[in-house]
A and B are shown apart, each in its own frame.
With several copies, the nearest count.
Chain A
Amino acid sequence: MKLQFSEADEHFRHEIASWLADNLRGEFEPLRFRGGPGDEHMFPEERKHWERRMAAGGWTCIGWPEEFGGRAASIEQQVIFHEEYARAGGPGRMGHIGEGLAGPTIIAFGTDEQKARLLPGIRAGTELWCQGYSEPAAGSDLAAVKTRARLDAATGRWLISGQKVWTSLAHESDWCFVIARTDPDSVGHAGLGFFLVRLRQPGITVRPIEQMTGTSEFNEVFFDEAVCEPGDMLGKPGEGWKIGMALLGFERGVSTLGQQMLFQNELDEIVRIARENGAGKDPDIRQRIADAWIGLRVMRYSAMRMLSGGADGSLAREAMSYKLYWAIWHRNLGKLAMDVLGPEAEIAESAPYGLSRLQSLFLFTRADTIYGGTNQIQRNIIAERALGMPKEPRR
């Protein structure tokens, strides 16, 4: 066990840092430190350009195998990439769902044809993805999916009908992956399929959800006999649950490190304000800042431990608590930001309801403990899967 990076890794660090210094400037200067959680609706077009600039520099999908355009970067290199990207204030990635979720899932479960056809667009930053998991009646109960997929025998197309919700960036994306029920008589985990669906088609309507911030990062996506072309299903009918679970595993992989760096930027800003406005002299604030600092360090090393586990999207026993940990940590950070700001925390940037970054952070962090599985669901998962405690009796 050791903390130092190898010389080769430090060379890699220099490479990405230099590239960012050379490229995150000029037209991209206004994107620095923007587009993160709670700010995802900002500068979408500019961030799409940035995605393509990243791709041109060979900095998208660096963890992918080389045969799919990646660098097969080691865990250490991916850590370094995310550190340097965040340090430079790299904007929230428009392509992160494709790079971090859709791509790895296609690599793991797709046919050669699907890989050849779908991966290049992700790698090039030209095709953006969003996810269709949650449904209105099945928030944390993923197995309660009601969206249906019907095979049109004449055309070989799957026709998808139903509704997904909490889909971020749906209005900016080209593709959506959708879990839908292929067997109308099935319940729970069985009878689901995993579909790759083009968003820009008549059968799909995207409706933004206005959040408590007054902004709309999330959407409802309505499917009315939306077409999934032949060859765009991943795996076989009935494998949807298995593929979906693996995807959730990828979600908690390396991308968490990028998230941590955003957290570090947020914490740094809060510490800076506390130093400047006198809040840092308040003993209660001092304790809470120290606690936040501890929590972030712990997250970093927990992620490192976690990443030394399986690379197939399966989660080590220890990794199951990660989502719960960061969600609570981040929610506390949002509150801390307000308390450090003091009376000024209440004042918005502009009328009618233009919130400051830290205000958005504060409000958005209330969603962290809900989406991707509520804290309650996470605790169930930990208790049942990691600790082997019995499931609750069903009625």
Chain B
Amino acid sequence: MEFRFTDEQQMIRESAEAFLREQSDPAAVRRAMATEQGFEAALWDELAGGMGWSAMHIPEEFGGLGLGAVELVALMEEMGKRLLCAPFFSSVCLGTTAILCAATNAQKAAILPDIAAGSVRATLGWMGEGRDWSPAGTSLACTRHGDGWRLQGESHYVVDGHTADLLVLAARLPGEGIRVFAVPAGTAGLSREWLPTMDQTRKLSKLSLDGVQLGSDALLGLDQDAAEALQKTLDIATIALAAEQSGVAQQVLEMAVAYTKERHQFGRAIASFQAIKHKAADMMLKAEASRSAAYYAACVADEALRGGAAGAELAQAASLAKASCSETAFFNAGSAIQMYGGVGFTWEYDVHLYFKRARASEAFLGAPAWHRERIAQELGL
């Protein structure tokens, strides 16, 4: 058991830190978040094609770097720190992972090289308007139609769905479980609507599918229930999102501590007051715990991707990481606003951007209480 980054992982992490500090500074974030697209194409090209981040956990045989979830988590943590506006979470963590979990090798060979190169951006749609983030919340319906398939219905809360090139969509085949399809953006009958969101740094959309016709090759994997593959995808994406939140939690802590060291009231830097210091200490306590949770979960996700034994803990690990990191990111971002005082509440200061991202990510893929209940079930309660 080794519970530290390898030298190579550490290098990936440090180069991400340097790149994002430069490329995803507050000005860049504010530029991108104000657009409907939500990201700057040049930045995506550089981090996907240039840095190779979109190839990270794609096996080498499919044009990827052959790395795993630990590297993904290291990147997401750094992205959280800088609130990167880019379709990394949607394309790499959701879309690519879905293909890795659901597709046949032939399909992977056909689809993944373009994704690895960053020239195709994917995403994943599955849930309806309900509150169930599990495969059971899948809302689209599919039916067999000649040789191929027909999809009908709506898919909600699809991250970057309005800009992705390839939509990986889960649909319910009545009586036979779930099927997962790869649907190109231009497919007839598919319409995509951007939905403005409270957190502007990550874009959501609604997809409407009105009698969408797909060939047999659009089905990812075999014609059998893909609920397990979808669940595995969601768990891995959940762990990646948790890691991002751990980055958010750490960053707002550092921002708030720096601010309170500068801000003077009552004749002292407010960082010298116990009320402020102890709040910062609690933030650090939670940030450290969340980082441990995310790293542990990353190891489990890695095993799950490679088919190792510890992968059996995937559901528990995902829920543990999400519950811990979500709560921490929200607590820390809210505490940071409090430590900033009045200015923390202004549009001008950046802390509200982190606060909004923290809230959005807390809800996405299931809030802490939802994940704790999932753990309670795993514990046989």
Tell me the A residues contacting B by CB distance below 8 Å: 1-5, 9, 76, 79, 134, 137-141, 144, 165-166, 209-212, 214, 271, 274-275, 277-284, 286-287, 289-291, 293-295, 297-298, 300-302, 304-305, 308, 318, 321, 324-325, 338-339, 342-348, 350-355, 359, 362-363, 366-367, 369-371, 374-376, 378-380, 382-384, 386-395
Contacts and interface: CB of A to CB of B under 8 A. Distances in A.
A295 B296 CA distance: 13
Interface centre among A301, A318, A380 (most CB of B within 10 A): A301
Nearest to B348: A210
A211 to B, nearest CB: 6
B260 interface: yes
A287 B265 contact: no
Contacts of B356: 212
A186 to B, nearest CB: 15
A211 B345 contact: yes
A286 to B, nearest CB: 4
Contacts of B288: 302, 318, 321, 325
Nearest to B365: A343
Nearest to A359: B198
A366 B334 contact: yes
B293 A294 contact: yes
B224 interface: no
A271 B381 CA distance: 8
A137 B36 CA distance: 38
Nearest to B9: A1
Given A1-B6, A140-B341, A211 B284 contact: no
Contact of A305 (B3, B309, B334): B3
Given A321-B288, A366-B337, A387 B280 contact: yes
A81 to B, nearest CB: 13
Interface stretch (B84-92, B146-154, B182-190, B367-375): B367-375
B198 A1 contact: no
Contacts of A280: 376, 381
Given A274-B381, A301-B295, A304-B3, A346 B269 contact: no
A98 B34 CA distance: 39
A154 B77 CA distance: 64
Given A1-B299, A3-B300, A141-B266, A370 B372 contact: no
Interface string B262-290: 00111111011111111011101100111
Contacts of A308: 2-4
A350 to B, nearest CB: 7
Interface in B157-216: 157, 194-200, 204
Contacts of A388: 257, 261
B252 to A, nearest CB: 13
Contact of A302 (B273, B292, B375): B292
A388 B117 CA distance: 43
24 contacts: A1-B3, A2-B302, A3-B310, A139-B342, A141-B265, A279-B131, A282-B369, A290-B376, A295-B289, A298-B320, A301-B295, A304-B292, A305-B4, A308-B2, A342-B363, A345-B363, A366-B344, A370-B341, A370-B342, A371-B342, A379-B277, A380-B274, A387-B281, A390-B271
B265 A298 contact: no
B1 A304 contact: yes
Contacts of A271: 379-381
Contact of B284 (A2, A347, A359, A387): A387
B323 interface: yes
* Majority secondary structure, A binding face: helix
B296 to A, nearest CB: 4
Given A3-B296, A351-B194, 10 more contacts: A3-B310, A4-B309, A287-B369, A298-B324, A346-B197, A351-B196, A376-B275, A382-B285, A383-B281, A387-B257
Contacts of A374: 338, 341
A211 B348 CA distance: 8
A119 B173 CA distance: 71
Given A301-B296, A389-B260, A79 B198 contact: no
B296 A297 contact: yes
B338 A369 contact: yes
Contacts of B235: none
Given A212-B345, A376-B273, A391-B272, A138 B373 contact: no
A343 B310 contact: no
Interface string B86-129: 00000000000000000000000000000000000000000101
B303 interface: yes
Nearest to A389: B271
A379 B129 contact: no
A212 B320 CA distance: 31
Nearest to A80: B1
B346 interface: yes
Contacts of B266: 141, 144, 394
B271 A346 contact: no
B106 to A, nearest CB: 31
A5 B272 contact: no
B284 A293 contact: no
B284 to A, nearest CB: 6
A382 B284 contact: yes
A212 B373 contact: no
Nearest to A325: B285
A142 to B, nearest CB: 10
A165 B343 CA distance: 10
Contact of B285 (A279, A301, A324): A324
B131 A343 contact: yes
B320 A294 contact: yes
Contacts of A138: 265
B198 A390 contact: no
Given A284-B369, A302-B288, A275 B381 contact: yes
Given A382-B281, A392-B272, A355 B129 contact: no
A78 B92 CA distance: 38
Contacts of B341: 139-140, 370, 374
Contacts of B275: 376, 379
B72 to A, nearest CB: 12
A393 B372 CA distance: 43
Interface string B331-363: 000100110011011111000100110011001
Nearest to B333: A366
B254 to A, nearest CB: 9
Contacts of B2: 1-2, 308
B3 A378 contact: no
B198 A355 contact: yes
Contacts of A214: 347
Interface centre among B302, B320, B341 (most CB of A within 10 A): B341
Contacts of B277: 379-380, 383-384, 387, 389
